[in-house]
Amino acid sequence: MPKLYKNVVLWDAERESASLCDVLTEGAEIAKIAPAGTLDGEAAFDGRGGTAMLPGFVNAHGHAAMTMLRGLGEELPLMEWLQKKIWPVENKLDAETAYIGAQLALMEMLSTGTTCFADMYFFMDSVAEAVLAGGMRAGLSRGIVPSQDGGRERLDENLKLARDYDGANGLIHVQLGPHAPYTVPTAFMTEIAAAAKENGLGVQLHWLETKSDWPLSDGSKTMNPEEYLEKTGMTGVKHLLLAHCVWMEKEKFPFYARPNITVAHNPKSNWKLGSGTAPVCAMAEAGIAVSLGTDGASSNNRLDMWDEMRFASLAQKGANLDPTLLSARDAFRMATVAGARALGFEKTGLLREGWTADFMLVDLDKPHYVGWDLENLPGCIVYAGSSADVKATVVAGETLYENGSFTRLDKEKITAQANAARKRLTSQA
């Protein structure tokens, strides 16, 4: 059914400035964008010149069901945190708790303007079902490490996920999700890359997150990180989404400047875990595609891309003593279209005719936006705006969140189920 949005202030990362528009969506797509007052018909929504229409955020790295683990073991070193606090509870997760955790994540993301997200975790059938029931867009991967006897079951599970869900409702793309070079032996990583190529799938991979990641990898004994990507075949996969990249060496940046490689920058997780600041402006300057993600809720602890985007921009300026770095436009590009491309959604992340109708409506009629105009809107959004300004979130033409309510998700029921599940997961018995 066509839907007309009148008098909205339209902007995306490829537009020089914002403009006052009428927008017609038809089904899952944007059918027409025209100057305000020129499209006839009854308005489904009238922005009255005080509502921004922006592409929805694409959260390019995370572990959605980790919402069930939020707040466990704060302020610990990464390995101690994982071993003592996270892994024991993760061992108790099951398909049902993963489904509830994914639904919690969906609510948090939709209410903060995110329309698409990357996920690497387990019980991914549950996550895929939650995504389809909730109506969001996602790039899903099964976190792969060898099974206890060294078997490849998790790779097979990931390939089955692809057979079952890749392309589902036009909303899901499946990638393979080898966890990291320090948890996946080199030979297995090579096998995973070959499977990705054979099946035409992209890959999500944790890459050089902490200083000790690479020295812990068995590949480090004979290769440097870039030789490893080359020799395992990872550089040849359809698309390689490298999460973190905090410890990538500057001299190696040109190696990563390829159309099939995207970095997923997770500045708040990296800071919270004391991992460091990824030099993403220098990466972008070297021609590397950089997207933005929140990482899981237990290491951020928010799935709020507004917060992430603002923090990313400020951290680059502060860490490099340079206020000109990571402009509002570049931060917004990282938070939207760059992630969509990395997940294989070629027509998502900008507001264009024929592109997916994935967007948020943002209330500009708030005290902290006084002074906004069509030219300065990007700065107002990135530096002054927050997720509290999101009025509605639309994915594939369907309104999934509006004025505090979800159209498909039952907030009270999911929250009650999540509270009960959390008690079960963290009880000692």
Closer CB to Zn ion, 9 or 124, in the complex: 124
295 versus 389: smaller Cβ distance to Zn ion: 295
Instruction: Give the residue among 227, 187, 180, 185 at the shortest CA–CA distance from 203.
Output: 180
How many whole angstroms separate alpha carbon 245 and alpha carbon 78?
16
Single out the segment in contact with Zn ion by CB under 5 A; choices: 152-160, 194-202, 231-239, 291-299: 291-299
Tell the smallest beta-carbon distance from residue 295 to Zn ion (Å): 5
User: How many chain residues interact with Zn ion (CB under 5 A)?
Assistant: 1
Phi, psi of 217 (to 5 degrees): -80, 140
* Candidates 167-175, 181-189, 295-303, 394-402; binding stretch for Zn ion (CB under 5 A): 295-303
CB of 39 to Zn ion, least distance (A): 43
Within 10 Å of residue 222's Cβ, how many Cβ atoms? Answer: 10
At its nearest, how many Å lie between Zn ion and the CB of residue 293?
Answer: 8
Q: Is the separation of the CB atoms in 33 and 23 below 8 Å?
A: yes
At closest approach, how far in Å is the CB of 275 from Zn ion?
11
Task: Kindly indicate which of the ranges 220-228, 290-298, 300-308, 412-420 contains the residues binding Zn ion, using the contact rule CB under 5 A.
Answer: 290-298
262 vs 399, which CB is nearer to Zn ion?
262
Give the chain's end-to-end CA distance (angstroms, integer): 52
How far does CA 295 lie from the centroid of its chain?
8
Query: Looking at beta carbons only, is 81 or 369 nearer to Zn ion?
Result: 81
CB of 59 to Zn ion, least distance (A): 11
Name the token pair of 371: 């002074």
Give the residue with the Cβ less far from Zn ion, 108 or 295: 295
CB of 87 to Zn ion, least distance (A): 14
The CB-of-61 to Zn ion minimum distance in angstroms stands at: 6
User: Strands 240-244, 19-26: parallel, antiparallel or unpaired by DSSP?
Assistant: unpaired
Least distance from Zn ion to the Cβ atom of residue 65, Å: 12
User: Nearest distance from residue 98's CB to Zn ion, in Å?
Assistant: 16
Stretch that binds Zn ion, among 24-32, 289-297, 308-316, 355-363 (CB under 5 A): 289-297
10 Å Cβ neighbour count for 141?
Answer: 29
Q: Shortest approach of Zn ion to residue 263 CB, angstroms?
A: 13
- The window from 221-229, 288-296, 328-336, 371-379 that contacts Zn ion (CB under 5 A) reads 288-296
Nearest to 244 by CA among 56, 13, 62: 62
Compare residues 79 and 420 and give the one whose CB is closer to Zn ion. 79
Selection from 335, 349, 386 nearest residue 364 by Cα: 386
Q: Are strands 57-59 and 51-55 parallel, antiparallel or unpaired?
A: unpaired
Query: Closest residue (Cβ) to Zn ion?
Result: 295
Q: Name the residue nearer to Zn ion (CB basis): 41 or 71.
A: 71
Which residue number, 241 or 351, has a Cβ lying nearer to Zn ion?
A: 241
Residues of this chain, 318-357, that bind Zn ion according to CB under 5 A = none
Closer to Zn ion at the Cβ: 143 or 378? Answer: 143
Q: Which is nearer to Zn ion, 22 or 119 (CB)?
A: 119
Write out the residues near Zn ion by the rule CB under 5 A: 295
